[in-house]
Amino acid sequence: MALSGRRFDPTPLGREILAHWARERKTLRQGLTALGISTAVGMAAGLVLGAMEGLLDTYRGLLVLVPAAIGMRGAIFGALGARLGTGILTGQYEATLRAGSFTAGNVEASALLTLSSSALAAVFARATAAAFGLPTIGLWDLMLVSMVGGILSSAFILAGVLGLAATAQRRNWDMDAIGSPLITATGDIVTLPALVVGTLLLRDPRATGVLGALFLVAAVGAVYQGLRRSPPLTRHIVVESLPVLAYAALVDIMAGTVLETRIESFVASPALLVLIPPFIANCGSLGGILSARLGSELHLGLISPRVIPERLAGLEGSVTVAFAFAAFTGVGVIGHTASVLAGFDSPGLVRMVAIALGGGLLATVLLFAVAYSAAAGTFRFGLDPDNYGIPIVTATMDFLGVLCLVAAIAFFGVT
């Protein structure tokens, strides 16, 4: 590009960023592909959420549970993918579920955490809705929907993660770049239909109470198994993950509460309802990519857990910004197109892109601070960033992402 007869010369920082992007072009290519898949699948989930309008109105309080149901799948299995990715890099990973193997221990931990976190989400959803005076279905109803949705969706996601890890090892893919977006996408598309299946069991109040109580007992048993009777690797993961997943469940429920308080606005403009899953999914995916890469670099000694991020950490943040521009622009464009094709009222292409991109870039700024603090802080205290970083970041960004989306909607005057 010429300017007054002279060739445009980027700043030294700009040249360094471009050089880093050139070195990471494989990561950028794989990450953008994964984010594209995540956005498309998240949009399909958004259309499912739009079609759930009747259920959301019939079973009030169900929307409070939706971000947690989706987010906990990403938190648990995104962390599983990150641990398997680190295992590939460090030589621990084996494509086998043989008892005592690295992979089997991780799978057992994820199953136990699925049961316990689904029960926690139901309890938090009922308590939070009551605290804010929101109408909601009963605890056993929420417990049944949350546990059925969690178990059914987790079975599909687990199979996908194991297949992805085996393929990544065989083809030398960057698991940190592709794992979180694809896992999040899978969670988005299977969790909402699984929740719908759960609502089908709410027709008999007596059966709901019995099944809800049995699921609660199963969740308590899973916690006991994970803390007392599991192999050392599984126990280590459960001990480290339970507190952060409790935090994740609470934060996701708060995100759902924000949505529930504005349910009339979203239902009045269904295209905005369609935006919710892909927008939240991309916030979680971007946070997962950055957390996984920072975690791997901490493990490999490429960066140190300093209070002020080192140069390489900042350059990783620039990669996340590049991902964010592409991902959230896609959310706006595809959201508008999908809404028009589905017959939903849309505020228009320009406004949909402005809402998605404006809210997304605001969320990305917050995302870097959260992701770096989580990775560096956990590593500094001798904890595994793969167990803490991704759940903390994805849950926090579910909540902050919802706030950024609502702020963008208000700023651009749609509601």
According to the per-residue pLDDT averaged within each range, which of 69-73, 94-98, 180-184, 256-260 is highest?
A: 256-260
Instruction: Say which residue, 263 or 227, is predicted with more confidence.
Output: 227
In angstroms, what CA-CA distances link 131 with 38, 135, 187?
Answer: 34, 11, 29
Q: At what angle do helices 349-380 and 270-299 cross, to 10 degrees?
A: 30
Q: Which of 39-53, 314-328, 341-355 has the lowest mean pLDDT?
A: 39-53
Is a pLDDT exceeding 60 seen at residue 35? yes
pLDDT band at 82 (very low <50, low <70, confident <90, very high): confident
- The two tokens of residue 224 are 């006991």
pTM comes to 0.72
The pLDDT score that the predictor gives to residue 2 is 41
Is a pLDDT exceeding 70 seen at residue 202? yes
Is a pLDDT exceeding 70 seen at residue 300? yes
In 10 A of CB 6, how many CB atoms? 7
> Percent of the chain scored above 90 by pLDDT?
15
| N- to C-terminal Cα separation, the chain | 42
The pLDDT score that the predictor gives to residue 10 is 55
The pLDDT score that the predictor gives to residue 177 is 65
pLDDT band at 17 (very low <50, low <70, confident <90, very high): confident
Q: Mean pLDDT, the chain, as a whole number?
A: 82
Going 288 to 289 to 295 to 299, the CA torsion angle's sign is positive
Domain ranges in the chain are 11-411
